[in-house]
Amino acid sequence: MKGIIGKKIGMTSIFQADGKQTACTIIEAGPNTVTQVKTQETDGYTALQLAFGDKKDKHATKAELNHYAKAQTSAKKFVKEFRNYSIEKQLGETVTLDIFSEGDEVEIVGTTKGKGFQGVVKRHGFSGVGEASHGQHDRQRAPGSIGGSSYPSRVFKGMRMAGRMGGDRVKMKGLKVVKIFPEKNYILVTGSVPGHNGSIVLIQK
């Protein structure tokens, strides 16, 4: 596999050669710095540790500064490990968007927007009671019955109920690279990507 850390910029749409309009997400991906190379001999598995986004040294611990000093780079905000990286890189080298090409099918991992405590209609798509007459009072968005009384005398695990929604780690598969702007480190992929604008995402192939 191969991948890169990026930041979601926002959404737009472009027109294909055949005139079809396609919704796309703009991601600022890279350049990433290789801050650690793990091998089978030293760590028991092979992986590349990539870092993205600069931060001030005063916001990093001494351990982090020493770790980044081995790669001869400044302190970074985000660090991610990619196992079984298909491209050989040395400590301190950079990974850019040239590992992808237009038309590639990629997977993107991100964290969905947090929506707080939500009811069953928004969280699980319940339709509610549906009728507002015949004595129904404030029941349009209520969950309804959740279990039996004498049997089974409990609520089954996994019952769809109100609760905290969003903030989940989600992987979107089957997205295609539409266009790459190497001078700006921008990559355009089809469809939507989890997370708010400015959130960190992982692009994998």
Using H for helix, E for strand and C for coil, what is the string for 72-109?
CCCCEEEEEEEECCCCCCCCCCEECHHHCCCCCEEEEE
Q: What pLDDT score does 172 carry?
A: 96
* Band of pLDDT at residue 197, cut at 50, 70 and 90: very high
Domain boundaries, the chain: 3-117+169-204, 118-165
Average confidence (pLDDT) over 41-62? 94
Q: Which of 39, 96, 45, 34 shows the shortest CA–CA distance to 68?
A: 34
SS3 state at 164: strand
Q: What pLDDT score does 145 carry?
A: 86
Span 97-141, pLDDT tens digits? 999 999 999 999 999 999 999 999 999 999 887 676 677 777 888
Question: Is there a cis peptide before residue 31, judged by omega within 30 degrees of 0?
Answer: yes
Is residue 128 within 8 A of residue 184, CB to CB? The reply is no
Is domain 3-117+169-204 classified as CATH 2.40.10.220? no
Q: Tell me the backbone φ, ψ of residue 30, rounded to 5 degrees.
A: 80, -175
pTM: predicted TM-score of the whole model, two decimal places: 0.86
Q: What pLDDT score does 148 carry?
A: 83
* Band of pLDDT at residue 144, cut at 50, 70 and 90: confident
Span 13-38, pLDDT tens digits? 999 888 999 999 999 998 999 999 99
H or E element, residue 43:
helix 40-43
Average confidence (pLDDT) over 186-202? 96
Which tokens belong to 75? 């302190």
* Helix, strand, coil shares, percent, the chain, to 5: 10, 40, 50
Is residue 70 within 8 A of residue 38, CB to CB? The reply is no
- Tell the burial category of 193 from Cβ atoms under 10 Å away from its Cβ (0-12, 13-18, 19+): buried
Displacement of CA 199 from its chain's centroid (Å): 8
Average confidence (pLDDT) over 3-9? 96
* Band of pLDDT at residue 44, cut at 50, 70 and 90: very high
